[in-house]
Amino acid sequence: MTRFTSLILAAGRGTRIGGPKALLLVGSGPDAAPLAEVQSRDHLAVGASTVAVVLRAREADMLAPRLQSRGVRIVVSEAPEEHGPAGSIAAAVRALDLAPPAVWLITPVDLRVAPQTLHAVATFNDPSAPRTVAVVPSFQGRKGHPVAILSSALTRYVEPNPPPLRDHLRSLADGVHILHVPDPNITENLNRSSQTQTLARITESALPPRFFADSAAPH
């Protein structure tokens, strides 16, 4: 796997943290930037040929100038909330071309891992594993994200009622390669109990969290 498209899933409502995760400000002061933009920069820096961010319409309108100025594609999801990330993947599959580059690197917006991890998962190539259609990172026996998957293995997301990615990967059986990485952050997103520490790490700033809408509002 060499050339790849990065797909950043950022359509969640963020009810647990008080606002959309895509709009979380990373850093402080005038250089603070929304998380969706920071993630896009990270993926471009490790060689993604295309970066696409899945957002709800309101957040897409707010972030379009910042993302599009970097050449980032925006996919607007209207999927029912109960579809979760599967709805976002389905929206992207419908909006983007599944033709080569054939590798999609799928990452939740609230999961920030080392650049080396992004690159290792996205560019995995092992001649001894020719049947590999997906790569899942693992740290000390715990699987996580990002997940690299061939576009040819994403056709299920064109169908109604797309499956959760976890279930889809399970259905691919021995086509999934588990890649051991020295990065504990592959399992640490804002849906877990260690939310406070993870939030501080992701935003690189003190709590409580701030959001892009807050910074754009007049004081």
The per-residue pLDDT for 2 is 64
- 101-133 b/e with 16+ CB inside 10 Å = b? ebbbbbbbbbbbbbeebbbbbbbbeeeeeeebb
Contact 70, 25 (CB under 8 A): no
Closest by CA position to 26, among listed 45, 15, 41: 41
> Any idea how long the chain is?
219
CB 147 within 8 A of CB 169: yes
Rounded to whole angstroms, how far apart are CA atoms 46 and 1? 14
CATH number of the domain bearing residue 117:
3.90.550.10
Domain that includes residue 182, residue range: 4-216
Predicted local distance difference test score (pLDDT) of residue 100 = 63
3 burial (CB, 10 Å; 0-12 / 13-18 / 19+) is: middle
Neighbours of 183 (CB within 10 A): 19
How many structural domains are present in the chain? 1
What pLDDT does residue 193 have? 45
> What is the per-residue pLDDT for 16?
80
Phi, psi of 105 (to 5 degrees): -105, 110
Q: What confidence score (pLDDT) does residue 217 get?
A: 42
pLDDT in tens, the chain (219 residues): 468 999 999 998 887 888 899 999 999 888 899 999 999 999 999 999 999 999 999 999 999 999 999 999 999 999 988 888 999 999 999 998 776 668 999 999 999 999 999 999 999 886 666 789 999 999 999 999 999 999 999 999 988 889 999 999 999 999 999 999 999 999 988 875 447 888 999 999 888 889 998 555 433
- In this predicted structure, what is the pLDDT of residue 208? 87
Task: State the greatest distance between any 2 C-alpha atoms of the chain, in Å, as a whole number.
Answer: 59
